[in-house]
Amino acid sequence: MAVGARSGHGEPERRPGRTDEPLRESAGGEAPREARSQATDGTAGPDDDARTEKPESGAGQDGGRGRRDESRKQRSFWKELPLLIGIALLLAFLIKMFLVQAFSIPSESMQNTLQRGDRVLVDKLTPWFGSKPERGEVVVFHDPGGWLGETPAAEQGPVANGVQTVLSKIGLMPSADEKDLIKRVIAVGGDTVECKGNTEPVTVNGKPLNEPYIFPGNTPCGDKPFGPIKVPKGRIWVMGDHRQDSLDSRYHQELDRFQGTVSEDEVVGRAIVVAWPLNRWSTLPVPSTFDQPGLSAAAAAAPSALGLAGAVPLVLWRRRRILRKDAEALRLASETAEPKG
C-alpha cells in the first residue's frame, strides 16, 4: 500500500473546525442560496395572490364593522334622548314642588327692591320643615280673596299661553291661573303693629322701624294710617315697599274679621334671590331694623317671665323654711307640756 493512501470512497477531507452537517443539508436537496433568491424575486404564483388578498378582505370587514358600530351608537343616542328629557322634566317638576319656584313680578308695588318683570326664586323647602314667615322677609302668598284688583291680567296670545302653561308645570314660569302676590312681612302673630300717618314710622310692639328700602319719596304710611292692630296667631301683616302704590294689608282691613292680615297657610314661600335679569341678580336679605332688641313680643315679655320663673323657687324655699320652723316650735311646745313621771 502506498504511503498516504486513505479509505472513504472519495469523501472530501474533513478539516479542523468543520462538520459534515452543512454538507448533508446541501446533499439533502436544499436549494442553493442563489436559487432561493431567484424564487423570491420571481413572479408571484396563485398561492401568493391569495395570500396578499386576505389582509385586504379583513380590512374591509373591520371598516364595515366600525361603520355599523357608529350607526348603532347614533341610534342608541336618539333612543335615549326622550328618556333623558323625561328625567330632566321630572327633576324640574320635583324641584318646583319641593325646593324652589320662579315667580314673575307683575307690578310696581315692591319698588325699588323689585321691579316689574323681575324673576325671583322662592324657597319652598323650609316650610315643609315647619319654617314660618319672619318679620322683614319678602314672601309670595296666594290671594286671600279680593286683593288682586291691583294686578289686572295681561293680554297674551294662544302661543304665549301654551308656552307659559308648559313652562309653569316645571317651575320655569308662574302659572297664569295662579293668583299670587308678593309683599314684605312687617308683623307676625302676636305682634301689635301701628302707623299714625304723615311721616311717622311704622311701629311693631312699640318699636319704630327704620325702613331704607321704602320707595324714594314715599312715607311709611302717609296715605293710609292704621292701627294699633293685634295680629292674630298664625297670620302676618304685609306691606309693599312702594307704599303709595301697594294695596296691601292696610287696604283690606274691612274684608273680614282678620283686619287685613294673611294666613300663614296661604304663604307659598320666601323670595330669596332675584334671578333675572342677570344685571339685577341679588339676594333678598332681612333688613337689620327687624333685628333690633325688644322688637319681638316674646322678647318684650321675656324679662317678666324670667323674673317670675326665678321668684317661684325662692317663694317655695322660703315657705318650706317657715313651715319647718313652725313644726320645730310645735315639737318643743309638746315636749314641755308633757308631765314628768
Residue 167 CA to residue 155 CA, distance in Å, equals 18
Task: Tell me what pLDDT residue 299 has.
Answer: 43
User: Would you state the pLDDT for residue 198?
Assistant: 87
Instruction: Decide if 54 is catalytic.
Output: no
Report yes or no on 200 lying in a domain: yes
Domain count, the chain: 1
What would the mean pLDDT of 21-47 be, rounded to a whole number? 43
- Identify the bridge partners of residue 274 per DSSP, sorted by sequence position: 120, 282
Backbone angles phi, psi at 8, to 5 degrees: 130, 5
- For residue 225, being part of any structural domain is answered with yes
- Is 259 inside a domain boundary? yes
Mean pLDDT of the region 48-58: 46
pTM comes to: 0.59
Catalytic pick among 96, 107, 109, 249: 109
CATH number, position 242: 2.10.109.10
C-beta separation of 239 from 227 below 8 A:
no
pLDDT over threshold 50, residue 143: yes
Residue 9 lies in a domain: no
* Residue scoring higher pLDDT (220 or 78): 220
Q: What are phi and psi of 333, to 5 degrees?
A: -65, -40
Structural domain includes residue 12: no
Catalytic residue among 183, 224, 246, 249: 183
Cα separation, 235 vs 133, whole angstroms: 9
Residue 109 appears among annotated catalytic residues? yes
Res 70 pLDDT > 70: no
Arithmetic mean of pLDDT over the chain: 74
Q: Which domain holds residue 184?
A: 97-147+160-298
Query: Can you give the chain as a three-state secondary structure string?
Result: CCCCCCCCCCCCCCCCCCCCHHHHHHHCCCCCHHHHHHHHHCCCCHHHHHHHHHHHHHHHHHHHHHHHHHHHHHHHHHHHHHHHHHHHHHHHHHHHHHCEEEEECCCCCCCCCCCCCCEEEEECCHHHHCCCCCCCCEEEEECCCCCHHHCCCCCCCHHHHHHHHHHHHCCCCCCCCCCEEEEEEEEECCCEEEECCCCCCCEECCEECCCCCCCCCCCCCCCCCEEEEECCCCEEEEECCCHHHCCCHHHHCCCCCCCCCEEHHHEEEEEEEEEECHHHCEECCCCHHHHCCCCCHHHHHHHHHHHHHHHHHHHHHHHHHHHHHHHHHHHHHHHHHCCCC
Res. 205: pLDDT tops 60: yes
Q: Is residue 265 in a domain?
A: yes
Q: Is 75 contained in some domain?
A: no
- 186 lies in a domain? yes
- pLDDT tens digits, one per residue of 246-300: 999 999 998 888 999 999 999 999 999 999 999 999 999 999 999 998 887 544 4
